């Protein structure tokens, strides 16, 4: 898989704070990329460099083979966590105005605004002021303003904030469709369950340093702890031995931790040899949230 975006030794300092410290990673083509990290990690600084709000002290970012500094603003759509639309302005007028700022003609901006409002079930918002909408509705309007100019690069910072489950699912489906149409998407959030569901690859930043980067499935395999859940048709006959230790036991179900990773087959053979009938047997992989917490805690103690 080719890389659509590359970060090469990117650094940024504010007075005595090193916001980014020699950050290097790539974003594969045709992927939804998760940019993760605790508060103050450097995520917002990196996003602001991508969107050209300010420049890096050193290093380079390229997108689609071109330095990000040379990219047209119309190629980038950025939806910040703190929304910046005009509360006193009518939704339709505002979307047309923002579309024109991104290079659309007034007619094209109007067409795209009407298209997206209809698509998101908000056609009757045209003459409503933003302040008259709920937080969730404002979030949908902000999403439309972000994608109205059909950007090649889409950066979403906490895009589901304020949305009820139905509208969150609606926006999520639109993100998938944009991805399928070739848009590169950088997704930034603190909610790890959303990252696991939406993102293919991730980068984890802590205190300005990159501490994890790669494919989500591969990362979970790398950090697995060799835990297994086994269910039986009745209370099992089982004793701890050199193969494993029992982590939890509840009725017909137990969780085991292997003492040696290569003893997976031996574990299964042992359980069957005791006359147990197994109804379910699977490995418990760590969640991204657990990996995230463990790595951040480890970095804080180094």
Per-position pLDDT tens, the chain of length 302: 689 999 999 999 998 899 999 999 999 988 999 998 887 889 989 999 999 888 999 999 999 889 988 887 788 999 987 777 888 899 999 999 999 999 999 999 999 999 999 999 888 999 999 889 888 888 889 999 999 999 999 999 888 887 888 888 999 999 999 999 999 999 988 777 888 889 999 999 988 999 999 999 999 999 998 999 999 998 888 877 788 888 998 889 999 998 887 677 888 888 888 888 899 998 999 988 888 888 877 766 66
Is 155 strand, coil or helix? strand
Helix (H) or strand (E) holding 86, with range, is none
The SS3 call for residue 271 is helix
CATH fold of the domain at 3-220:
Rossmann fold (3.40.50)
3-state DSSP: the chain helix, strand, coil percent, rounded to 5? 40, 30, 30
Confidence at residue 245, expressed as pLDDT on a 0 to 100 scale: 87
pLDDT at residue 301 in the model:
67
Give residues with Cβ within 8 angstroms of 148, minimum separation 6: 95, 98, 99, 102, 104, 109, 112, 113, 116
Would you give the distance in Å from CA 59 to the centre of its chain?
Answer: 24
CA angle 263, 269, 270 (to 5 degrees): 85
The kind and range of the H/E element at 34 are: strand 32-36
Look at residue 1 in the predicted model and tell me its pLDDT. 61
Determine which helix (DSSP H) or strand (DSSP E) holds 18, and give its type and residue range: strand 17-28
Specify the CATH number of the domain 225-284. 3.30.70
Do 199 and 216 form a contact (C-beta atoms < 8 A)?
yes
List the domain boundaries for the chain.
3-220, 225-284
| Predicted pLDDT of residue 302 | 64
Cβ 220 vs Cβ 233: under 8 Å: no
């Amino acid at each position: 898989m080719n890389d659509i975006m590359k970060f090469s030794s990117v650094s940024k300092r504010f007075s005595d704070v090193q916001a980014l410290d020699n950050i290097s990673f790539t974003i594969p083509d045709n992927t939804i990329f998760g940019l993760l990290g605790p508060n103050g990690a450097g995520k917002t600084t990196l996003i602001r460099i991508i969107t050209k709000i300010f420049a890096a002290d050193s290093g380079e970012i390229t997108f689609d083979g071109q330095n990000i500094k040379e990219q047209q603003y119309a190629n980038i759509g950025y939806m910040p966590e703190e929304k910046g639309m005009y509360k006193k302005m009518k939704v339709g007028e505002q979307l047309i105005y923002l579309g024109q700022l991104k290079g659309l003609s007034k007619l094209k901006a109007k067409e795209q605004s009407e298209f997206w409002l209809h698509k998101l079930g908000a056609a009757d918002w045209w003459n409503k002021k933003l302040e008259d909408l709920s937080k969730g509705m404002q979030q949908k309007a902000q999403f439309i303003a972000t994608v109205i100019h059909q950007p090649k690069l889409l950066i979403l910072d906490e895009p589901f904030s304020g949305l009820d489950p139905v509208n969150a699912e609606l926006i999520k489906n639109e993100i998938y469709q944009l991805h399928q149409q070739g848009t590169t998407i950088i997704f930034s959030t603190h909610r790890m369950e959303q990252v696991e569901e939406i993102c293919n690859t991730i980068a984890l930043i802590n205190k300005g340093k990159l501490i994890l980067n790669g494919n989500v499935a591969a990362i979970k395999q790398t950090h697995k702890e060799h835990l297994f859940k086994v269910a039986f048709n009745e209370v099992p006959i089982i004793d701890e031995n050199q193969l494993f230790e029992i982590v939890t036991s509840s009725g017909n179900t137990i969780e085991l931790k292997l003492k040696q990773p290569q003893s997976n087959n031996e574990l299964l053979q042992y359980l069957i040899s005791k006359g147990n009938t197994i109804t379910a047997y699977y490995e418990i992989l760590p969640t991204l949230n657990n990996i995230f917490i463990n790595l951040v805690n480890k970095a804080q103690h180094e």
